[in-house]
Amino acid sequence: MKIMVQGTSSSCGKSLTAAALCRIFFKDGYSVCPFKSQNMSLNSFVTIEGYEMGRAQALQAYAANIEPEVYMNPILLKPTTDHKSQVIFMGKPISNMGAKEYFTFKPKLKNRIYEIYKEIEKKYDVVVIEGAGSPAEINLKKDDFVNMGMAEMADSNVILVADIDRGGVFAQIYGTYMLLEEEERKRIKGVIINKFRGDKSLLEPGIRMLEELIPVKVIGVVPYFEFNLDDEDSASGFKNFIKNGINVAVIKLPKISNFTDFDCFKFEEDVSLKFISRPEEMADADLVILPGSKNTISDLRWLKEKGFDSAIRNFEGIVFGICGGYQMMGKEIFDKYGVEVKEGTYEEGIGIFDTKTLFLEEKRLERVEGTAFLNKIYGYEIHMGITIDNKNPFVFLKDRMDGDCREDRFYGTYVHGIFDSGEFRSYILNKIRRKKGLEERRSEDLTDIRNRELDRLEKIFRDNIDIDYIYKLL
């Protein structure tokens, strides 16, 4: 059995709808697997085997109570510049390609996608397939295996999701439907109107008129709600959470990646989280985070242009660098092989640590666990390069030491997700609370938070869509 979730646009709610269906089918006793043939995102996940995949499919796997596997998202495109993306197939980088080059290469992958999908179908009771962007992108339909092309390969019915919060929801739905070929229209068997605020009864006349215009049933209206985990990419925006107590500021690098590293802070009752683009925005921060980057040298140059380098050196609170942010905090970065920019490029770092980073052609992909200041930590590494001369490593992994620290206020590590550990997050936040005279608190592991959020997601969808009708579509 299978069902496909497509959308009228990016960020309309496809990923969360697919996650909700995975949770519902799992809770109803079925073995469920998510699948998205191609994903574009700077936010990736590392599997236990050390393969890279989209975070949205990892969340959907957790919703289905299974371990994320790379076959759930065979193709991942990670933008490196405005014109190129790193192409990752089955968890490993193939090449950096421009759009034209990739569209020439793409047809070679279609048969492999079909084979991977058919193997999944044999192993699970239900496959929840997610599309990408919109099926009405008529300029991209040739050799499509992401939207209606994937629906045809899987012979799947389709649910169309539309975002009413952006406005023009009926035009979105009608326009998408009318731009499809007749055979493609036949696959759309239901519409979900997502992110609705207000009185549903006021929407009813519009729904009736829409169903007269196109022969597709509106099977649910899902209310607007905050789900604070695993945003697929920056298309959905960087949301600030303002509360009284501790102020956490994340520097919004132009090529920021893996920004789910900070989701955990959103669940702290006394922690504000904001993304900043100017050094003066650091003024009221207690903790400034330098996040990961898909182009570290480019983003380091941007930091210097903005004046963040001197602001970071002079900051009196805590500065924490993760992955690319950690590399930037060192003395130098050397791109010997042209991994990010030109061969032989040398860039002076911010100079907090005495570290030197050499970019290598091989990407390190690994799930890790260990301790930091005797607190349990877990996460993953995903980076090109090695860093040496780290004089005060504070992260102890099973086979090595990682990171650097200085003056009990500057920290850097390669471990993405280090704050997901409730123990370590408590350690850092309580240092700040003591300094500010606030009551100390105990933080919760993000894994526990995630399960609670997924159960909440399941309930919202069960209460607001016609699940019996979806079972008929299966």
| Cβ partners under 8 Å of residue 463, min gap 6 | none
pTM tops 0.85, yes or no = yes
- The answer to whether residue 236 scores a pLDDT higher than 70 is no
How crowded is residue 419: how many other Cβ atoms within 10 Å of its Cβ? 24
What confidence score (pLDDT) does residue 232 get?
Answer: 55
For the chain, the average pLDDT equals 93
Identical fold, 2-229 and 240-445? yes
What confidence score (pLDDT) does residue 150 get?
Answer: 96
Q: Residue 269 class from Cβ within 10 Å (0-12 exposed, 13-18 middle, 19+ buried)?
A: exposed
Q: In what order do the strands lie in the sheet with 188-196?
A: 32-35, 126-130, 2-7, 158-163, 188-196, 218-223
Whole-angstrom distance, CA of residue 47 vs CA of residue 367? 7
| Cβ partners under 8 Å of residue 129, min gap 6 | 2, 3, 4, 5, 18, 34, 35, 36, 117, 150, 151, 154, 156
| 402 close to 355: Cβ distance less than 8 angstroms | no
Mean pLDDT on 209-221: 96
Query: What are the respective helix, strand and coil percentages of the chain, to the nearest 5?
Result: 35, 30, 35
Question: Which residue from 292, 248, 281, 290 is spatially nearest to 266, judged by alpha carbons?
Answer: 248
Place of tokens 């008529």: 138
Question: Which residue from 255, 275, 256, 249 is spatially nearest to 416, judged by alpha carbons?
Answer: 256
Whole-angstrom distance, CA of residue 34 vs CA of residue 21? 9
| Residue type present at position 60 | Q
What confidence score (pLDDT) does residue 234 get?
Answer: 46
Q: In what order do the strands lie in the sheet with 92-98?
A: 38-40, 75-79, 84-89, 92-98
| 217 close to 211: Cβ distance less than 8 angstroms | yes
Q: What is the pLDDT of residues 177-187, one digit of tens each?
A: 999 999 999 99
- The answer to whether residue 170 scores a pLDDT higher than 50 is yes
pLDDT tier at 294 (50, 70, 90 boundaries)?
A: confident
Percent of the chain with pLDDT over 90: 77
What confidence score (pLDDT) does residue 455 get?
Answer: 96
What confidence score (pLDDT) does residue 147 get?
Answer: 96
Mean pLDDT on 265-271: 94
- The answer to whether residue 229 scores a pLDDT higher than 80 is no
Please report how the helices 446-464 and 14-27 are oriented relative to each other, as an axis angle in degrees rounded to 10: 90
What confidence score (pLDDT) does residue 231 get?
Answer: 57
pLDDT tier at 237 (50, 70, 90 boundaries)?
A: low
pLDDT tier at 337 (50, 70, 90 boundaries)?
A: confident
Whole-angstrom distance, CA of residue 48 vs CA of residue 53? 11
Higher pLDDT, 236 or 357: 357
What confidence score (pLDDT) does residue 122 get?
Answer: 96
Superfamily of domain 2-229: P-loop containing nucleotide triphosphate hydrolases (3.40.50.300)
| 274 close to 302: Cβ distance less than 8 angstroms | no
- The answer to whether residue 235 scores a pLDDT higher than 50 is no
Whole-angstrom distance, CA of residue 426 vs CA of residue 443? 5
pLDDT tier at 392 (50, 70, 90 boundaries)?
A: very high
| 89 close to 54: Cβ distance less than 8 angstroms | no
Whole-angstrom distance, CA of residue 379 vs CA of residue 190? 38
Mean pLDDT on 29-46: 92
pLDDT tier at 2 (50, 70, 90 boundaries)?
A: very high
What confidence score (pLDDT) does residue 82 get?
Answer: 75
Query: Domain segments of the chain: what residues?
Result: 2-229, 240-445
Mean pLDDT on 62-79: 95
Question: Which residue from 388, 419, 428, 390 is spatially nearest to 406, judged by alpha carbons?
Answer: 390
Tokens of 299: 């983003």
Mean pLDDT on 129-141: 90
CATH number of 240-445: 3.40.50.880
Whole-angstrom distance, CA of residue 373 vs CA of residue 275? 27
Pairing relationship of beta strands 318-322 and 410-413 according to DSSP bridges: parallel
Mean pLDDT on 124-133: 96
pLDDT tier at 95 (50, 70, 90 boundaries)?
A: confident
Catalytic machinery residues: 323, 416
414: left (phi over 0), alpha (psi -120 to 50) or beta: alpha
Higher pLDDT, 227 or 422: 422
